[in-house]
Each structure stands twice: as C-alpha cells, then as structure tokens.
Amino acid sequence: MSATSSPHKFEDAAYTEEWVAYNEKQYPQRAVFIEEFVRTLKLQDGALRVLELGGGAGRLAEAIQQECHVDSYDLLDSSPAMQRLARTRLSSSKVTQLIKADFSDAKWPDLVSSEYDAVVTMQAIHELRNPAAVPLLYGQIATVARPGASVVVCDHLPVEPRHRGLYMPPSAHLAAMAAGGLANAEIIRVSDAMVLVRGEVTAARPDADGLFFWSRA
C-alpha cells in the first residue's frame, strides 16, 4: 500500500497554532483518552523514562508529568513550530527533553535513549501515511525500550471512506503490534471515533542494524 501525502503545514508557525487550537475544540474527547494514558502508565512501578513520538504541543506530556512519577520525558517531533508551543507549555518541567526528529525517518532511534519504560503517541501514528509501515515502527520502538516497557497508542478510527488507507480499525492496531514484535496487545478504549491500544516490549528485542524500516522520504 502506498503512502498518502500529508496536507499539513507544520513548518508554518501561524498554521500550526491555528491547527492546535482547532483540534482542542474539535476533539474534546481527547481529555478522556489522556486520562486513560495516565491510568495505564500508573500501573507500572517506579519512576518512568518516557518517550513520546509526535509529541506536538505537549498536552499529553503535561498530563503524564503531572499525574505520574516521571524520571525523564523525551518529546520527539519534527516541527519546530510544534516544539516552540511544547516548550512554552512545559516551561516549568525539569525532566523534558525536546528532540527534533521525524519518526518516519529510519534514523530517529539514533537520536534517543535506549532504555525507555514507556513509549506513547497521541493522534500521530497515522502521520506515517501508510498503515503497512506501522509494524515496522513498532519494531524500531522495541530497540529503544526496555523489556516489559509499555507502548501506548491513540489514534483516529476510519469512520469515513476517505479515512481508509490512513487510519486503522482496532483489530488492525492489535495485528500491527503483534507483527511488530510487541506482546500482550490489548484495546484499552474505543469511543468517539478514536482508539487506544497498548502493547508490551518483549525480552527478545530486534537488532536495530538489521531492521528494515519504511520511510516516506
């Protein structure tokens, strides 16, 4: 399946600010899903080292840091405009590191740590623009997270014909986690045209050097 192009202009500061404000109003249900992220991460013991892919303006990062015991929080995003918004929102955080990178680029794992306790992403995984690439992303996540780490993913559902080939149904999310080498994949929540799923990094992690990864570049 070929990738679809992105209509977004996140390199533009004004567009990005308008898009973030619009999404806050368009998706009020995000608050419920953010609560589920927090609840899921609270099930893990000890201080968490967290990586967020496509962290955007930092809303999820803010909630997780407020409610969970977080030792470090790496927020990865490819948009400088988004990172400026996140830096403002998280200005009081002492554990956040902003990383400018695109998670569709095969080299992103080289820019982060290798022992995360949790990897999260909120309404961003569809930016791969190709569902066939999602299992490969999970394979890369497994190279930077410790065995037993949680991988928690929220995204839109394909409720309209135009969404097919971009968003994934719940069963496809579970299948992608399994195909990417994650264990114990489960659906945490499905509502309001969104889904939240969780998987777990296994003890046998793939070799990053030998992992083929699709890139839209």
pLDDT at 27: 77
184-214 pLDDT tens trace: 999 999 999 999 999 999 976 555 444 444 4
Closest to 56 measured CA to CA, from 125, 109, 132? 125
State how far the Cα of 123 lies from the Cα of 56, in Å rounded to an integer. 10
Distance CA 48, CA 189 (A): 22
What was the pLDDT predicted at 214? Answer: 44
Token match 């740590």: residue?
A: 113
Q: In 3-state terms, what secondary structure has residue 177?
A: helix
The three-state secondary structure class of 45 is coil
Rounded CA Rg of the chain: 16
Q: Tell me how far apart the alpha carbons of residues 14 and 95 are, in angstroms, rounded to a whole number.
A: 28
Q: Which token pair is 28?
A: 């009020």
Low-confidence ranges of the chain (pLDDT < 70): 1-13, 19-20, 204-217
Global pTM value: 0.87
Domain 28-210 annotated CATH 3.40.50.150: yes
